Amino acid sequence: MQLTEAEVAVLQQRAAEAARNSYSPYSHFRVGAAILLHPDVRQDGAMVAGTNVENASYRLTCCAEQAAIAAAVTLYGPQIRIRAVAIANLNGAASMPCGACRQTILEFSTPETAVFYPNADGETVSTTLAELLPAAFRLATE
């Protein structure tokens, strides 16, 4: 089922709140991500947020989306499925999920997983993970 505008707004708000805790002394790009979990697996309506955590060894940086997913698995277990992800930043910039984050979201996605992110004009882009990551890599054993 599609999310209502109000549900998307709440998810975006949670993402923006998480971005306020961003640890980004190198890029100064303050990102937050909030995920809405699928109601099928018990945690009806649960939302979990994360922010980016950078490191002086730059490549060790953890993206906001990955932080949110790690927190959700920690809180609710390995069976979680993501109904929607909203991304926000406090820099007034576009922030679509990076390639690595798309692959990380895929791991817990369904064919309908929705993604909301701001474009460069601050407008919300509403899309799906399937659209953002076509021909995605999955293990053949799945």
Chain contacts with ligand THU (rule: CB under 6 A)? 24, 27, 29, 31, 52, 54, 61, 63-65, 97-98, 101
Q: What's the min distance (Å) between Cβ of 135 and ligand THU?
A: 20
Q: What's the min distance (Å) between Cβ of 18 and ligand THU?
A: 10
Q: Answer yes or no: 7 catalytic.
A: no
Q: What's the min distance (Å) between Cβ of 26 and ligand THU?
A: 7
How far, in Å, CA of 137 to CA of 103, rounded? 8
Quickly list DSSP for 17-63. Answer: HHHTT-B-TTT---EEEEEEEPGGGS-TT-EEEEE-B--SSGGG-B-
Q: Which is nearer to ligand THU, 33 or 37 (CB)?
A: 33
Q: Which is nearer to ligand THU, 26 or 75 (CB)?
A: 26
**Position of tokens 């021909």?**
135
Q: Which is nearer to ligand THU, 43 or 102 (CB)?
A: 102
Sheet holding 82-89, edge to edge: 47-51, 31-37, 82-89, 114-118, 124-128
What residues are annotated to the active site? 65
